[in-house]
Amino acid sequence: MNPLRVALAVARKDLRSEWRTRELVPALAQFIILALLIGNFGFQIDSRNAASIAPGILWLALVFAGLVAFGRTFTAEREQASLEAMLMTPASPVAIFAGKAIAASALLVVCEAVMLPALSLFFGTPLSGGVAAAVLLATVGMASLGCLFAAIVARVRARELLLPLLTLPLWIPFIIAGGQAVQSAMGQGGNYGGAISLLIDFDILFVVLTSLAARFVLDE
């Protein structure tokens, strides 16, 4: 079986089930708007400080929305015990894992499509391609790590507790590089190109490592 086709089929399945229930994306979009609201009250935003505070709020909202999104990737499979059925097919576990990661990151990208305009609307920061590129590049690596650990905690007690504990420390490289890139794209100075190439390096590193590790996590 062609692994690419398997991955796309799994991703299509996940996206179709999300499209039919429409549970996760509206909830996450609302969550993100609420996070912006809390940022506003927590910081006393005005036109002078918005550009320096907005990147921080962006990453906080994105990271926690991501945790919710990736925490749900294996929930339905666990409840229906359908992961075992998928693993019994000749499809490779890595392809199945990749499909789930693609679907989860697509859902997160939809949430980002809500977040970036909202951020620009409420905080008056420029809505530039530079910001979007940094956020999208970070999403790739964050999704691969997030799905790997979601697969791990799916079979562990207290999974809601463990997922943030395992995932957040390993997301920090993306937040460091992505934070620099977004700050510089919002006119706070700094080396935008350097931060973006660092993001690409981290993406390659973690996508390769997670696909190597996925076999050991799913194959049971």
Partner 1 sequence: MNRYEKAAGAAVALMLIAGAAIFFYAPTDWLQGPVQRIFYLHVSSAIAAFGSFAVVLVGGVIYLRNASPVADRLARAGALVGVVFTTVTLVMGMLWAKKVWGAFWVWDARLTSTLVLWIIYAGYLLVRRLADPGRQAARFAAVVGIFGFIDVPVVYFSVSWWATQHPGPVIINDALPPQMLATFLFTMACTAVLAGVMIAIRYRIEALLDERERVFEPANVIVAREPQTAP
From residue 125, give the alpha-carbon distance in Å to each of 59, 71, 138, 182: 14, 30, 20, 11
Which residue, among 36, 46, 198, 206, has the nearest Cα to 112 in the 3D structure? Answer: 36
Binding region for partner 1 (CB under 8 A): 145, 148-149, 152, 155-158, 161-162, 165-166, 168-170, 172-173, 205, 209, 213, 216-217, 220
Rounded distance between C-alpha atoms, residue 217 and residue 220, angstroms:
7
Residue number with CB closer to partner 1 (123 or 202): 202
Collapsed DSSP state (helix, strand, coil) of residue 134: helix
- The smaller minimum CB distance to partner 1, of residues 21 and 216, is found at 216
**Residue 159 CB, nearest approach to partner 1 (Å):** 8
User: What six digits make up the tokens of 26?
Assistant: 């509206």
Query: What's the DSSP call for residue 172?
Result: H
Q: State which residue, 109 or 168, has the beta carbon closest to partner 1.
A: 168
Q: Shortest gap between Cβ of 147 and partner 1 (angstroms)?
A: 13
* Shortest CB 93 distance to partner 1, Å: 13
Segments in 72-158 forming alpha helices (H): 75-80, 82-88, 93-123, 129-153
Chain centre distance of CA 153: 17
Q: What minimum distance in Å lies between the beta carbon of 174 and partner 1?
A: 13
Shortest Å distance, C-beta 17 to partner 1: 26
Task: Quote the tokens at residue 184.
Answer: 């510089």
Q: Which residue, 66 or 116, has its beta carbon nearer to partner 1? A: 66
- Looking up tokens 């809500």 gives 114
Are 32 and 127 in contact, with CB atoms under 8 Å apart?
no
Closest to partner 1 by CB, 6 or 218: 218
